[in-house]
């Protein structure tokens, strides 16, 4: 192996964390909490709540807090027994109260409910089963066309494939496997689908039919094991479950799996804890002295590249070019580490040289090719911007570990003491016009009261004279910067 790649699994009763380390550097991290397990891959028996012809979509009750969103493009005509497969009118396909089987493709994000599809797929180690569509595909990530064709022929020779109503996609990890391994995987998927159908027939209300594997097993299923040299787990119980899974599906990897018994916590290795904390900050420093500023919003993520302290050795254009080149590696890594998805705008430093622009774009494409998540990028615009998308199925690391600041409500800034002081004066004036009080008491943060008593004392005197009322101020250490109360006495 050219690169030393490891998977480290940290397990506590309420949380599982998995880190992918390459050459001693953290590349990806996944977090799953017992009370907030991701829903992607889960299959539900749902009931149509509302059909919205204007949006060509429907809201489906699947037993969660918020109704799930189903677009007409994700409706399965075969599952509905619809003969007109060209029909794209949601009102003709679905109606309120109708029961349908659906699968979550995107977790609830922010205020949005889960995104679902009727095109159900069930993944195993080497195959993805599509029970409703009779087809056969092979992952394009397998570089060799000869190997893709060999795998296609292997699947066609399996008796269960011929008798199957559904179809299969051969996954990247199946490269090099033989007939018997592939058949075992196929038989497992077909048994699982039979169980799902049985549960579906027995269900009378919106409920979960099939739950995807927990994080520590999904990693074994989805990560290409040929790239991983070691997998270390700090929980004996979890290790046993992972060993059982590996013995069944990837026995050749059993010797790579082991218990971590070091004195230091497993995530202290390779500074993983520190890297996670850094990934929650906006600023990412580059080795050259330049830096990135990463801003994540509901609509999109922006990444700004800056030269910072890097002045280069030749000229400004060369400095900009070197900074942008270095930034491509950092950007690709941060996208994976932070699990950023959706629309992403990259603001590279403006380059005059067209050849430099092309080199930077090529370097970015090369780095993004290492990402297991699907990405697509545009060319550099006249403003030095690159628009890209990265498939988003789960919440980002920040949204998983953090919540909006209760002081600034997620704005990232708070009002100055001066601004709050003037708001208090306006509030007192407003109250004086509506109510008759003997005097007013203002309770506010210490910084605000200090601002009023020191810098705004003359304003207070003028306001008291204007209202012919006295105003008293009380500093409260527990009050946030923007928090205050005006009490009539």
pTM (two decimals): 0.76
The CATH code of the domain that includes 460 is 3.40.1260.20
List, for residues 354-409, the tens digit of each pLDDT value.
899 999 999 999 999 888 888 999 988 877 799 999 988 788 899 889 888 887 77
Q: What is the pLDDT of residue 45?
A: 95
Q: Are residues 291 and 363 in the same domain?
A: yes
Q: Are residues 72 and 113 in the same domain?
A: yes
List, for residues 29-49, the tens digit of each pLDDT value.
999 988 778 899 999 999 999
Pick from 212, 217, 122, 135: which is nearest to 168 by CA?
Answer: 135
Domain total of the chain = 4
Q: Are residues 285 and 362 in the same domain?
A: yes
- The answer to whether position 320 is within a domain reads yes
- The answer to whether position 220 is within a domain reads no
DSSP state of 73: G
Q: Are residues 435 and 355 in the same domain?
A: no
For 289-309, the three-class secondary structure string (H helix, E strand, C coil) is CCEEEEEECCCEEEEEEECCC
Mention every residue, 6+ apart, whose C-beta is less than 8 A from residue 398: 279, 280, 296, 338
- 421 and 456 in contact (C-beta within 8 Å)? yes
Q: Are residues 390 and 423 in the same domain?
A: no
Q: Are residues 373 and 437 in the same domain?
A: no
- 398 and 110 in contact (C-beta within 8 Å)? no
Q: Are residues 394 and 438 in the same domain?
A: no
DSSP of 393-434, one letter per residue? -S--HHHHH----TTTTTSS----HHHHHHHHHHHHHHHHHH
Q: What is the pLDDT of residue 103?
A: 96
Domain termination residue (choose one: 73, 102, 120): 120
- The answer to whether position 312 is within a domain reads yes
Domain termination residue (choose one: 69, 95, 120): 120
Handedness of CA 353, 354, 356, 361 (dihedral sign): positive
Please tell me the distance from the alpha carbon of residue 177 to that of residue 156, in angstroms, as a whole number: 14
DSSP state of 250: -
Token reading at 314 = 């030749």
Q: Going by DSSP bridges, is the β-strand pair 283-285/99-106 parallel, antiparallel, or unpaired?
A: unpaired
The CATH code of the domain that includes 358 is 3.40.630
Q: Are residues 168 and 125 in the same domain?
A: yes
- The answer to whether position 102 is within a domain reads yes
Token reading at 277 = 């904390």
Domain range enclosing 437: 417-488
Query: What tens-digit pLDDT sequence spans the chain (489 residues)?
Result: 456 899 999 999 899 999 999 999 999 999 998 877 889 999 999 999 999 999 999 999 999 989 999 999 999 888 887 777 778 889 999 999 999 999 999 988 777 889 999 999 999 888 999 998 888 999 888 888 899 999 999 999 999 888 888 899 999 888 888 888 889 889 889 989 999 999 998 888 999 999 989 999 999 888 877 788 999 999 999 999 999 988 887 787 889 999 999 989 999 989 999 999 999 999 999 988 889 999 998 889 999 999 876 555 567 888 889 999 999 999 999 999 999 999 999 999 888 888 999 999 999 999 998 888 889 999 888 777 999 999 887 888 998 898 888 877 777 788 999 999 999 999 999 999 888 889 999 999 999 999 999 999 999 999 999 999 999 999 999 998 899 999 998
Q: What is the pLDDT of residue 382?
A: 79
Q: What is the pLDDT of residue 43?
A: 95
Residue 459: which H helix or E strand, with range? helix 457-467
Burial of 409 from C-beta contacts in 10 A (0-12 / 13-18 / 19+): exposed
Residue 245: which H helix or E strand, with range? helix 236-249
Q: Where are the alpha helices (DSSP H) in 84-204?
A: 90-93, 145-156, 159-163, 179-202
Helix or strand or coil: residue 465?
Answer: helix
Q: Are residues 127 and 115 in the same domain?
A: no
Q: What is the pLDDT of residue 309?
A: 64
List, for residues 436-463, the tens digit of each pLDDT value.
889 999 999 999 999 999 999 999 999 9
Q: Are residues 380 and 345 in the same domain?
A: yes
Q: Hey, which residues does 169 pair with through a beta bridge?
A: 128, 137
Residue 71: which H helix or E strand, with range? strand 68-71
| Max Cα-Cα span within the chain | 95
Q: Are residues 348 and 377 in the same domain?
A: yes
Q: Are residues 328 and 310 in the same domain?
A: yes
Domain termination residue (choose one: 94, 120, 146): 120
* CB burial string 453-481: b at 16+ within 10 A, e below: eeebeeebeebeeebebebebebeeebeb
Query: In Å, what is the CA distance from 273 to each residue of 178, 278, 295?
Result: 41, 9, 21
Q: Where are the alpha helices (DSSP H) in 9-144?
A: 77-80, 90-93
The CATH code of the domain that includes 85 is 2.40.50.140
- The answer to whether position 55 is within a domain reads yes
- The answer to whether position 1 is within a domain reads no
| C-alpha triplet 219, 221, 223: angle, nearest 5° | 55
- The answer to whether position 5 is within a domain reads no
Identify the residue whose tokens are 């049985």: 198
- The answer to whether position 358 is within a domain reads yes
Q: What is the pLDDT of residue 1?
A: 40
List, for residues 132-151, the tens digit of each pLDDT value.
888 899 988 888 889 999 99
Please tell me the distance from the alpha carbon of residue 30 to that of residue 219, in angstroms, as a whole number: 9
């Amino acid at each position: 192996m050219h690169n030393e790649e490891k998977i480290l699994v940290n397990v506590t009763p309420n949380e599982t964390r998995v880190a992918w380390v390459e050459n001693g550097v953290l590349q990806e991290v996944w977090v799953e909490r017992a009370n907030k397990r991701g829903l992607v891959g889960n299959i539900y028996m749902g009931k149509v709540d509302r059909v919205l012809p204007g949006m060509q979509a429907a809201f489906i009750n699947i037993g969660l807090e918020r109704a799930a969103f189903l677009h007409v493009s994700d409706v399965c005509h075969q599952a509905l027994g619809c003969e007109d497969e060209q029909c794209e009118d949601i009102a003709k396909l679905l109606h309120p109260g109708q029961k349908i089987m659906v699968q979550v493709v995107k977790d609830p994000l922010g205020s949005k409910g889960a995104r679902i599809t009727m095109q159900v797929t069930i993944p195993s180690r080497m195959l993805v089963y599509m029970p409703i569509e009779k087809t056969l595909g092979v992952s394009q990530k397998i570089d060799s066309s000869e190997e893709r064709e060999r795998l296609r022929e292997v699947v066609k020779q399996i008796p269960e494939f011929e008798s199957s109503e559904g179809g299969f996609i051969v996954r990247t990890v199946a490269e090099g496997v033989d007939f018997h391994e592939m058949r075992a995987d196929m038989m497992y998927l077909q048994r699982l689908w039979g169980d799902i159908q049985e549960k579906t027939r027995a269900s009378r209300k919106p409920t979960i039919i099939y739950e995807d594997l927990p994080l520590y097993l999904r990693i074994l299923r989805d990560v290409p094991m040929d790239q991983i040299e070691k997998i270390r787990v700090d929980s004996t119980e979890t290790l046993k479950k992972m060993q059982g899974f590996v013995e069944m599906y990837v026995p050749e990897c059993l010797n790579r799996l082991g218990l971590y018994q070091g004195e230091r916590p497993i995530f202290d290795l390779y500074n993983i804890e520190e890297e996670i904390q850094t990934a929650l900050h906006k600023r990412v420093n580059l080795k050259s002295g330049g830096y990135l500023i990463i801003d994540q919003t509901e609509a999109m993520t922006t990444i700004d590249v800056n030269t910072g302290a890097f002045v280069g050795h030749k000229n400004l254009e060369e400095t900009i070019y070197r900074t942008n080149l270095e930034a491509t590696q950092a950007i690709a890594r941060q996208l994976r580490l932070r699990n950023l998805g959706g629309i992403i705008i990259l603001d590279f430093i403006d380059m005059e040289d067209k050849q430099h622009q092309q080199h930077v774009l090529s370097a970015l494409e090369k780095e993004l090719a290492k990402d297991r998540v699907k990405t697509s990028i545009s060319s550099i615009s006249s403003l030095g911007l690159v628009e890209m998308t990265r498939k988003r199925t789960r919440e980002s690391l920040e949204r998983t570990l953090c919540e909006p600041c209760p002081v600034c409500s997620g704005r990232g800034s708070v009002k100055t003491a001066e601004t709050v002081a003037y708001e208090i004066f306006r509030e007192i004036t407003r109250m004086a016009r509506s109510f008759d009080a003997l005097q007013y008491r203002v309770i506010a943060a210490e910084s605000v009261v200090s601002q009023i008593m020191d810098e705004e004392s003359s304003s207070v005197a003028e306001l008291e004279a204007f209202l012919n009322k006295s105003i008293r101020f009380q500093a409260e250490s527990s009050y946030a910067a923007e928090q205050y109360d005006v009490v009539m006495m």
